[in-house]
Structure 1
């Protein structure tokens, strides 16, 4: 793990990061293993749209770096990890504070590690639901990441090894 990449430091840095701070986004919690994150989007006068509800760009922004940062915290310096693509579905107006709970499961980690062991690119998909204070889903965001093991950490794999890893990926 990177020396300064620990949950309390990441939480503090993100809460001070101008795009989050200015939008009213706050990291509520990051688990010690980086597998769970909870984020809040406060409803403020400056992040309301013309309809006096949460601005859609702020809703989308609260999901932006989260899964990538979680994987960096979990997988460490051995991997390239980037956001690749995203889509959002607005389901109802956000007229209260909003919350998003991000989770990376053991199965997802196993698939990522198996798929990238030989240096292949992998594009895992994560879906997060943004909810209002009543627990109703306001929007759903799908994030696709780019994950690849750095050359110096890749296993030397033959075609047979890749078949074995494919089988392991199918099991997890």
Structure 2
């Protein structure tokens, strides 16, 4: 499904802490006025943080995209770029918070740009993280 967003991963670090995506402007995502369709900008960013965290944290954790606040700043009339990054310190903080709180939400801010200084879109992505044990116990209580 990710292919339909037109997003293309062009860099993934060995530890998965950095992922870079290019969203080329083409006939598949060009809207009526010639700029990139906003849905394409959003969908190219949708799964990346979740997939990064699922792989970095491992199978003892549950990770879900919870919400996205998107602000379109200017039309994208050319290729767009976005970098998804977690520092080692962020990962350590997430692990520690989950140990204490069982489940947390984090907010990561993203900028979709022209690869330089022009910002097309800003996003705040809220991601839910818990231990698998806590998540299963909580779901069992709701059933």
Q: TM-score, normalised by structure 2?
A: 0.88
Structure 1 runs not aligned, ≥5 long: 1-18, 153-172
Deviates more, 1:128-137 or 1:28-37: 128-137
Relative CO higher for 1 or 2, CA cutoff 8 Å, sep ≥ 6? 2
1:38 CA drift (Å) = 0.2
Describe how 1:5-20 pairs up with structure 2 within 5 A.
19-20=1-2
Distance in 2 (CA, whole Å) between partners of 1:43 and 1:23 is: 11
Higher strand share: 2
Paired position in structure 2 for 1:90: 72
1:118 CA drift (Å) = 4.5
Distance in 2 (CA, whole Å) between partners of 1:125 and 1:23 is: 22
Distance in 1 (CA, whole Å) between partners of 2:56 and 2:129 is: 12
Higher helix share: 1
Paired position in structure 2 for 1:59: 41
Residues 1:142 and 2:124 aligned together: yes
Structure 2 contact 102–130 (Cα < 8 Å) conserved: yes
Cα displacement string for residues 87-109 of structure 1 (whole angstroms, at most 9, x for unaligned residues): 11100110001000111112221
Residue correspondences, number: 134
1:61 CA drift (Å) = 0.6
Q: Pairwise CA RMSD of aligned residues?
A: 1.5
Structure 2 contact 5–41 (Cα < 8 Å) conserved: no
Cα displacement string for residues 127-172 of structure 1 (whole angstroms, at most 9, x for unaligned residues): 11100144411101111111001228xxxxxxxxxxxxxxxxxxxx
Paired position in structure 1 for 2:90: 108
Structure 1 contact 129–138 (Cα < 8 Å) conserved: yes
Paired position in structure 1 for 2:108: 126
Distance in 1 (CA, whole Å) between partners of 2:71 and 2:124 is: 9
Deviates more, 1:98-107 or 1:113-122: 113-122
Paired position in structure 1 for 2:140: none
Largest Rg, 1 or 2: 1
Structure 2 runs not aligned, ≥5 long: 135-143
